[in-house]
Structure 1
Amino acid sequence: MPHIVKSFDAELAKLDEGLARMGGLAESQLAAAIEALDARDSEQAAAVMRADAKVDDGEHFINEQTVKVLALRAPVADDLRTVVTSLKVAGEIERIADLAANAAKRSLVLNQLPPVAPMRSLIRLGRLALALVREVMDAYLGRDAERALSLRERDQELDDVYSALFREILTYMMEDPRTITSCSHLMFIAKNLERIGDHATNIAELGFYRVTGRMVTEGRTKKDVSAYIGADLPE
């Protein structure tokens, strides 16, 4: 329902507009990082790294806008949820962009080494992560709680592909120790892509909360086979 003070609606709309811009930039960065990996294009990878600052600027805008709305309007109920989730979603998008830039950075090293077969599976993982990010942002901005909840379950598909890729990379390194350096970088990139799926899923949960006012309480089952070797790889 529109507010009596129309400027309040305009201020809330700026939050969605800012998130749409941020999401579009992060999606473009991730798509370009995947293309750079696939084509072994160092110039494109470097461009992804440079573009990361634009997403950071978008997050600063959301932070400033949420402070402004909270201070001037004292929103309640669904308006307050819009403000709070905007702040959180901006943080999730910023992390997605950072992880995309990190993948691009590692591709610069990979391009100096002979190509390895697991790259094909890595590209598949990246495209799954990209599709999830796009659909989750559409659900959030479209205030589609049912779609957001269903997308939350899609993270399992990404986890399954990641786990299969992890095993493939280990096998490849054991069969040919000369590939250890290349495969180690692939493993780091794969973990970054898996984390992107986690951030996308967080956005889905925030989208559900924004519309319904209910938190998703059911835990997500994670099947990460890398967990048993120490797992949280540095970015």
Structure 2
Amino acid sequence: MEWREEAIVLGVRRHGETSVIAEVMTRERGRHLGLVRGGRSRKQQPVLQPGNSVAIHWRARLDEHMGAFLIEPLELRAARLMENGIGLNGVQLVAAHLRLLAERDPHARLYDGLAVIVDHLDEPDKAAELMLRFEIALLEELGFGLDLERCAATGRRDDLVYVSPKSGRAVSREAGEPWRDKLLPLPAFLIESDTACDPRSLVDGFRMTGYFLSRHVFEPRGLAEPLSRAGFLAAIEKIRARASA
């Protein structure tokens, strides 16, 4: 059994004296593990860093075996990503999110999102918006998608400003007013293409996705929110505060 595909490195762990087990994300085969012989060598170590794009040649005797990777570099981003807290925490966060998916389960939409994110982790505002949209897509891929297109109470498609924490559905301003303190704010830029993404909206957006990730994913699995998520948000805020000062 064998296949070839482009992939993005998520992480590695040691295996024996000279080898590693690499974890990558592919478009057609999802998150995949494979043995890289000699992966701890000086030549291979720079290639097998999280965030790098590589060409994978996988081989195994049977499809259900872990198999071995032959890896060639395509685009080495890791050095750039490790230059600041956004890149370092960002690549760790998307990797942690992707580990919530079953191994070898294809998620082309998330692979495409990952490919865009790792190219923009040196741009604070863009990186934050991309990560927020990635978390919304992740919830959908895990079966807990949010319905932000129409009001849960009235069916209206306009003036949507809240999200119900119970149903994950949008709520209009008028319908939600009596319960506004119990509802989550819905950032306008997520549903209106002509609305800019501002810092307050990002805070509200990450609060929303964090709530649903905790409720539907982390808590049922007995997991804590990844430390890299708080690190990523703190790094974004630090750079934004420095810029405004």
Query: Does TM, normalized by the shorter one, top 0.5?
Result: no
TM-score, normalisation: structure 2: 0.31
- Quick check: which one's helix share is greater? 1
- Quick check: which one's strand share is greater? 2
Q: Which has the higher contact order (CA 8 A, sep 6+)?
A: 1
TM-score, normalisation: structure 1: 0.32
